[in-house]
Amino acid sequence: MTQELPSHYLYPAALFFSKEPYLINTILGSCVAICLYDTTLKIGGMNHYMLPFWNGQGLASPKYGNIAIEKLVEQMLKAGCSKQNLVAKIFGGGEVIDAGSNMFNIGKRNIEIGETMLRDLGIKIVASDTGGKLGRKIQFNTQTGAVLMKLIQRTLIPQNNNR
């Protein structure tokens, strides 16, 4: 059945939400992806952020956790979802050695901002797989809310230059 759903590959710093059912795929190293699912409307969306906070550098994009989470929640509420029906699943934030990054503990801080913001928004985290030393491939079925995950070696992770 899932074979029939259209799929979308989510790039880092982007987010994806649609009222139509989708399979959203992404690959995570130290980045974090949050899958939000409305258990009543049976629709969902995902973000994929690289750094915890926008610090005024560059564009105020969902590359940064604080913006990515805000924007995804905003879009879902606009589409008629209500906050108490939303549940979250968090993935990623591995300690992946990133040649281009000089940031310390970036994965951990990405996880931290996600958990904190979701708690503050009152959105329950119903599943998560974060941290560790490996990367992850995930696939979010926005119709059922199920997420498939596979751990991957770091060589497969696209090198994101965080800075």
Partner 1 sequence: MSKRTQLSDEELLEELRLRIKKSKDTLLQLQQLNKELQIVNKKLSESEALKSHFLSNVANEMVNPFSSIMGLSKAIMAIGPNDFEKAKPLAQLIYSEAFNLDFQLTNIFAAARVEAGQTNVEINMVDINSLIRSVLEAYDFKTKQKKLSINLHYTTDENLANNFFFPTDAEMLKVILSNLLSNGIKFSSANSKIEINAGIVDNELFISIRDHGRGISPEYLEKIFDRFDKGNKEINSINEGYGLGLSVTKAYLDILGGRIDITSEVGSGTLIIISIPRPKDIEPEGFAFDGNEFIFDEGDNQTF
Cα separation, 89 vs 115, whole angstroms: 10
Q: Is 35 a catalytic residue?
A: no
CB of 82 to partner 1, least distance (A): 22
Closer CB to partner 1, 18 or 85, in the complex: 18
Residues 36 and 72: beta-carbon distance below 8 Å: yes
CB of 41 to partner 1, least distance (A): 20
Q: Is 68 exposed, middle or buried (0-12, 13-18, 19+ CB in 10 A)?
A: buried
Selected catalytic residue, list 13, 23, 24, 31: 31
Site residues, partner 1 (CB under 8 A): 2-3, 5-9, 11-16, 23, 25, 27, 47, 50, 53, 55-63, 67-68, 71, 89, 91, 100, 127-129, 137-139, 146-150, 156, 158-161
Closer CB to partner 1, 120 or 161, in the complex: 161
> Is residue 147 classed as helix, strand or coil in its secondary structure?
strand
The DSSP H or E segment spanning 32 is strand 32-38
Residues 48 and 36: beta-carbon distance below 8 Å: no
Closer CB to partner 1, 62 or 93, in the complex: 62
CB of 75 to partner 1, least distance (A): 9
Residues 112 and 137: beta-carbon distance below 8 Å: no
Give catalytic residues, as residue numbers.
31
